[in-house]
């Protein structure tokens, strides 16, 4: 069943936080960490057993295949994470716009 879900990004929240999300019926844990020096958000993805599947994934706007650049297909579900700027300016997420005009979505391709 193909579908899309928006991740629970906290607008101007703490520089590190975590939450759970369901991708294709499986539970995953997402850790978000902001790096002030390069104004970039990074993501770690863990499975339901808290085993790290993806680590240090930079959240960059409009990059298709973002998860597959950092993962082997066998350890991550069929699908992709994509960061989109709703203003269509292609602006990467920063501390001031992530969770507001810039969001992250999981898109299933199964």
Residue 109 has pLDDT above 50, yes or no: yes
Q: What is this structure's pTM?
A: 0.83
Backbone angles phi, psi at 47, to 5 degrees: -85, -175
| Domain containing residue 91 | 4-108
The mean pLDDT of the chain is 85
Reported confidence tier of residue 46, pLDDT bands at 50, 70, 90: very high
Place of tokens 């295949």: 65
Q: How far lies 94's CA from each of 47, 50, 68, in Å?
A: 26, 27, 23
Reported confidence tier of residue 18, pLDDT bands at 50, 70, 90: very high
Cβ-proximal residues to 72 (8 Å cutoff; 6+ apart), any chain:
none
Name the more confident of 58 and 108.
58
Domain tally for the chain?
1
Check residue 32 and give its pLDDT.
95
């Amino acid at each position: 069943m193909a579908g899309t879900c928006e991740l629970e990004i906290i607008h101007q929240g703490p520089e590190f936080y975590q939450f759970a999300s369901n991708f294709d019926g499986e539970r995953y844990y997402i850790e978000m960490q902001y790096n002030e020096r390069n104004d970039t958000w990074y993501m770690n993805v863990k499975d339901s057993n808290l085993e790290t599947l993806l680590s240090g994934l930079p959240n960059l706007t409009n990059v298709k295949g973002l998860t597959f650049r950092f993962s082997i297909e066998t350890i991550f579900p069929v699908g992709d994470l994509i960061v989109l700027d709703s203003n269509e300016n292609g602006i990467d997420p920063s501390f001031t716009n992530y969770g507001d005009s810039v969001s992250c979505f999981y898109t299933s391709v199964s």
